[in-house]
Amino acid sequence: MLRDTIKAAQVSAMKAGDKSRLGTVRLILAKLKDKDIELRTAKMVPEDDTLVVDVLQKMAKQRRESITMFEQGGRQELADAEKAELGVIEEFMPSQMSEAETMAAIAAIKAEIGAESIKDMGRLIAELKARHGSQLDMGKASGLVKAALGQSS
Protein backbone atom coordinates (compact mmCIF):
# COMPACT_ATOMS: atom_id res chain seq x y z
CA MET A 1 0.00 0.00 0.00
CA LEU A 2 2.75 2.47 0.95
CA ARG A 3 4.81 1.23 -1.98
CA ASP A 4 1.88 2.02 -4.30
CA THR A 5 1.73 5.56 -2.91
CA ILE A 6 5.43 6.03 -3.68
CA LYS A 7 4.97 4.69 -7.23
CA ALA A 8 2.03 7.06 -7.74
CA ALA A 9 4.21 9.93 -6.50
CA GLN A 10 6.80 8.98 -9.13
CA VAL A 11 4.22 9.24 -11.89
CA SER A 12 2.86 12.56 -10.64
CA ALA A 13 6.40 14.00 -10.31
CA MET A 14 7.13 12.91 -13.89
CA LYS A 15 3.94 14.55 -15.15
CA ALA A 16 4.63 17.73 -13.19
CA GLY A 17 8.23 17.89 -14.39
CA ASP A 18 9.52 18.14 -10.81
CA LYS A 19 13.03 16.77 -11.34
CA SER A 20 14.32 17.04 -7.77
CA ARG A 21 11.25 15.27 -6.33
CA LEU A 22 11.38 12.66 -9.08
CA GLY A 23 15.04 11.96 -8.33
CA THR A 24 14.32 11.40 -4.65
CA VAL A 25 11.31 9.18 -5.34
CA ARG A 26 13.37 7.11 -7.76
CA LEU A 27 16.07 6.82 -5.11
CA ILE A 28 13.47 5.49 -2.63
CA LEU A 29 12.20 2.96 -5.17
CA ALA A 30 15.77 1.86 -5.94
CA LYS A 31 16.46 1.28 -2.22
CA LEU A 32 13.24 -0.72 -1.96
CA LYS A 33 14.28 -2.83 -4.96
CA ASP A 34 17.68 -3.44 -3.32
CA LYS A 35 15.93 -4.55 -0.12
CA ASP A 36 13.61 -6.85 -2.10
CA ILE A 37 16.62 -8.48 -3.75
CA GLU A 38 18.35 -8.82 -0.40
CA LEU A 39 15.29 -10.54 1.10
CA ARG A 40 14.90 -13.10 -1.71
CA THR A 41 16.98 -15.57 0.26
CA ALA A 42 15.62 -14.60 3.68
CA LYS A 43 13.66 -17.19 5.61
CA MET A 44 11.21 -14.65 7.02
CA VAL A 45 10.12 -11.62 4.99
CA PRO A 46 8.44 -8.76 6.91
CA GLU A 47 5.13 -7.25 5.85
CA ASP A 48 5.57 -4.89 2.88
CA ASP A 49 4.59 -1.66 4.68
CA THR A 50 6.94 -2.53 7.56
CA LEU A 51 9.73 -3.07 5.05
CA VAL A 52 9.02 0.24 3.29
CA VAL A 53 8.91 2.18 6.58
CA ASP A 54 12.20 0.58 7.67
CA VAL A 55 13.89 1.63 4.42
CA LEU A 56 12.46 5.16 4.70
CA GLN A 57 13.64 5.50 8.31
CA LYS A 58 17.17 4.45 7.36
CA MET A 59 17.21 6.88 4.44
CA ALA A 60 15.93 9.71 6.66
CA LYS A 61 18.58 8.96 9.30
CA GLN A 62 21.31 9.04 6.63
CA ARG A 63 20.05 12.42 5.37
CA ARG A 64 19.98 13.91 8.88
CA GLU A 65 23.54 12.77 9.51
CA SER A 66 24.66 14.19 6.16
CA ILE A 67 22.96 17.53 6.86
CA THR A 68 24.83 17.82 10.16
CA MET A 69 28.16 16.93 8.54
CA PHE A 70 27.68 19.34 5.62
CA GLU A 71 26.65 22.20 7.90
CA GLN A 72 29.68 21.60 10.13
CA GLY A 73 31.88 21.55 7.05
CA GLY A 74 30.46 24.81 5.73
CA ARG A 75 28.80 23.21 2.68
CA GLN A 76 25.36 24.78 2.93
CA GLU A 77 24.37 24.03 -0.70
CA LEU A 78 24.87 20.30 -0.08
CA ALA A 79 23.02 20.51 3.23
CA ASP A 80 20.09 22.21 1.46
CA ALA A 81 19.98 19.42 -1.16
CA GLU A 82 19.90 16.80 1.61
CA LYS A 83 17.13 18.75 3.40
CA ALA A 84 15.05 18.72 0.21
CA GLU A 85 15.50 14.94 -0.10
CA LEU A 86 14.66 14.48 3.58
CA GLY A 87 11.43 16.45 3.10
CA VAL A 88 10.32 14.14 0.29
CA ILE A 89 11.27 11.01 2.25
CA GLU A 90 9.38 12.19 5.34
CA GLU A 91 6.21 12.72 3.27
CA PHE A 92 5.90 8.95 2.89
CA MET A 93 6.71 8.04 6.50
CA PRO A 94 3.90 7.47 8.99
CA SER A 95 3.50 10.20 11.58
CA GLN A 96 6.00 9.85 14.41
CA MET A 97 5.05 9.62 18.08
CA SER A 98 5.83 12.66 20.20
CA GLU A 99 8.24 12.37 23.13
CA ALA A 100 5.33 12.37 25.60
CA GLU A 101 3.55 9.60 23.68
CA THR A 102 6.80 7.61 23.54
CA MET A 103 7.32 7.99 27.29
CA ALA A 104 3.73 6.83 27.92
CA ALA A 105 4.24 3.77 25.68
CA ILE A 106 7.52 2.96 27.45
CA ALA A 107 5.87 3.27 30.88
CA ALA A 108 2.98 1.00 29.82
CA ILE A 109 5.26 -1.70 28.41
CA LYS A 110 7.62 -1.40 31.39
CA ALA A 111 4.73 -2.06 33.79
CA GLU A 112 3.34 -4.85 31.60
CA ILE A 113 6.55 -6.87 31.32
CA GLY A 114 7.80 -6.00 34.82
CA ALA A 115 11.00 -4.32 33.65
CA GLU A 116 12.84 -2.92 36.65
CA SER A 117 16.52 -2.52 35.86
CA ILE A 118 18.84 -1.76 32.98
CA LYS A 119 19.14 -5.55 32.51
CA ASP A 120 15.57 -5.53 31.15
CA MET A 121 16.38 -2.89 28.52
CA GLY A 122 16.66 -5.40 25.65
CA ARG A 123 13.25 -6.93 26.33
CA LEU A 124 11.62 -3.52 26.70
CA ILE A 125 13.14 -2.16 23.49
CA ALA A 126 12.19 -5.32 21.57
CA GLU A 127 8.57 -5.01 22.71
CA LEU A 128 8.52 -1.27 21.99
CA LYS A 129 9.85 -1.87 18.48
CA ALA A 130 7.34 -4.66 17.86
CA ARG A 131 4.41 -2.45 18.85
CA HIS A 132 5.48 1.01 17.69
CA GLY A 133 8.56 0.54 15.50
CA SER A 134 7.19 2.35 12.47
CA GLN A 135 6.20 5.39 14.54
CA LEU A 136 9.45 5.79 16.48
CA ASP A 137 13.00 6.85 15.95
CA MET A 138 14.52 3.90 17.81
CA GLY A 139 17.74 5.84 18.46
CA LYS A 140 15.88 8.44 20.50
CA ALA A 141 13.58 5.81 22.03
CA SER A 142 16.49 3.78 23.38
CA GLY A 143 17.73 6.84 25.26
CA LEU A 144 14.26 7.33 26.75
CA VAL A 145 14.10 3.63 27.72
CA LYS A 146 17.51 3.88 29.41
CA ALA A 147 16.34 6.98 31.31
CA ALA A 148 13.08 5.26 32.36
CA LEU A 149 14.93 2.18 33.61
CA GLY A 150 17.64 4.25 35.27
CA GLN A 151 15.06 6.11 37.36
CA SER A 152 13.54 2.94 38.74
CA SER A 153 16.77 1.33 39.98
Domain boundary among 40, 74, 92: 92
pLDDT at 41: 86
User: Of 55, 74, 92, which closes a domain?
Assistant: 92
Supply the pLDDT for residue 13: 93
Say how many residues make up the chain. Answer: 153
Q: Are 88 and 15 part of one and the same domain? A: yes
pLDDT in tens, 125-139: 888 777 776 677 777
> Which candidate, 95, 93, 97, places its Cα nearest to that of 85?
93
- How many Å apart are CA 97 and CA 137, to the nearest integer? 9
Q: What are phi and psi of 51, to 5 degrees?
A: -60, -45
What digits encode the pLDDT tens for the residues 59-74? 999 999 999 999 999 9
Residues 59 and 35 in one domain: yes
Please state whether the predicted TM-score (pTM) of the whole model is above 0.85: no
User: In terms of domains, do 28 and 57 share one?
Assistant: yes
Same domain, 132 and 86: no
| 104 shares a domain with 60 | no
Structural domain including 16 reads 2-92
CATH number of the domain encompassing residue 48: 1.10.1510.10
State the pLDDT at residue 48: 82
pLDDT at 107: 79
